[in-house]
Amino acid sequence: MWKETTATEPPRTTAQDAQKPVTEEELRAIFERLDTARDIFRQNRELREALSHRDTETRELRSRNAELEEIVRKFAPVLLDAATTMGLAAKDAPSSGPVRAPSRWQQQGRVL
């Protein structure tokens, strides 16, 4: 957009240039740059606010995830025992094909 000056650069205006009045075109260009800078700062502020909200949501989700992991750790042995028992029961049962639960239509007495 525009070139930034460093601290070691000499000023670009001379005493003679400083005495010249600013033309409407130059003033318009200055205002356009100010408007652009204002828009950039507004967008930056909006993005920072959105990022802040996302950071808060991320912290909440991580906390909830830790709670759920703890719950799973508590119940994992019980679930493993239940799965082992079901597997042993299925192994000992006579093999008559896969057992399926009746569908909603079959429970209501309707035929597919």
- Asked whether the predicted pLDDT for residue 111 surpasses 60, the reply is no
Domain ranges of the chain: 22-90
pTM, full prediction: 0.45
Measure the CA–CA gap between 104 and 11, rounded to whole angstroms: 84
pLDDT in tens, 22-57: 899 999 999 999 999 999 999 999 999 999 999 999
Report residue 91's pLDDT band, with 50, 70 and 90 as the boundaries.
Answer: confident
Question: Residues for the chain: how many in total?
Answer: 112
Report CA-CA distances (Å) from 64 to 37, 39, 78, 83, 99: 40, 37, 22, 26, 37
1 Cβ contact partners less than 8 Å away, ≥ 6 residues apart: 33, 36
pLDDT in tens, 65-81: 999 999 999 999 998 99
